[in-house]
Amino acid sequence: MKTWKKVVLGSVSLLAAGTLLAACSSNSSKENSSSKADSKTLKLWVPTGSKDSYSDTVSKFEKESGYKVDVVEMEDPNAQENLTKDASTAADVFSLPHDQLGKLVEAGAIQEVPSKMAEEVKKNDTEQAAIGAQYKGKTYAFPYGIESQVTYYNKSKLSADDVKSYETITSKAKFGGNLKEANGYITAPLFLSVGDTLFGKHGEKVTVDVSIADAKPENYDALLIPGGFSPDHLRGDEEGRYGTFAKYFTKNDVPTFAICHGPLVLVDTDDLKGRTITGVINVRKDLSNAGANVVDESVVVDNNIVTSRVPDDLDDFNREIVKKLEA
């Protein structure tokens, strides 16, 4: 069980999950013998509050397969963190937001879906759902839910042509509000990427004047990646544009600064092997899996890359940034 890679599968695919996990048993006959007692039990993580909705599917699966399923409620967004903490204690089958898939693949925590089943996903699901189950062109999951975003607008203020794109919307109308209350996970990237102004809690403001689609790394003298949850969301970009953008800086020895969760973006540069860096504690496993030498220090300088852990390290972080920029 400890050597199994976890397979991300939807609830409708429990039978397939059982087959895959049985085929991915330990390479050691000794381990096979010692784990024989629990080899017919699968652990299933389901979203909090949804355990009852899985009962019929689980019951049917248990009767058909001979496996026993241990169903545990777990918040979807926490799946990635809980899995990377200790894969040996994680669920065999679980759900998670699609934008966490890439990090788990890079960490070696899950395995690719067999080609026959991958073809079934492409055949039976919508194009966007199938893409959401992929990472770098390979399928690692079974889609079982998809969200649709709907735009409401005031027809007395905007025409049908005005709302054809976010560029036209923001050129004709203003958007304001607390990002947390307005579901910043969805709205912030959309509105901030087309020239809106972001106001900080201390009154500072930043206007976004270029999107990732138009930004050219060679036009910049340095790269600063702040923390928060944004770096994790940026890694969910299907085209991998943020990692590609950052790679220009790491490969060409251009000053690169990242703090807290910020170093996650550097994982997608594929340029961390042998580098010494730091970051907030819950991203260090990802950094280590990318080949970095991870240390627990307030600030770390490795050639052109400067990294820090948390806001309390800002004095040290800013000091080293100034040194690099003045060099």
Tokens read off for 204: 């500072």
Query: Per residue, what are the HEC states of 35-69?
Result: CHHHCCEEEEEECCCCHHHHHHHHHHHHHHHCCEE
CA distance 69 to 72: 10
- In single-letter form, the type of residue at position 271 comes to D
Contacts of 125 (CB under 8 A, 6+ apart): 133, 143
Of 52, 112, 101, 58, residue with least CA distance to 79: 101
| Residue indicated by tokens 């599917």 | 57
Which residues are bridge partners to 134 per DSSP? 139
Contacts of 46 (CB under 8 A, 6+ apart): 11, 54, 71, 72, 73, 74, 94, 95
What residues act catalytically?
260-261
| Residue indicated by tokens 């189950």 | 133
Q: What's the chain's length in residues? A: 327
Which residues are bridge partners to 41 per DSSP? 68
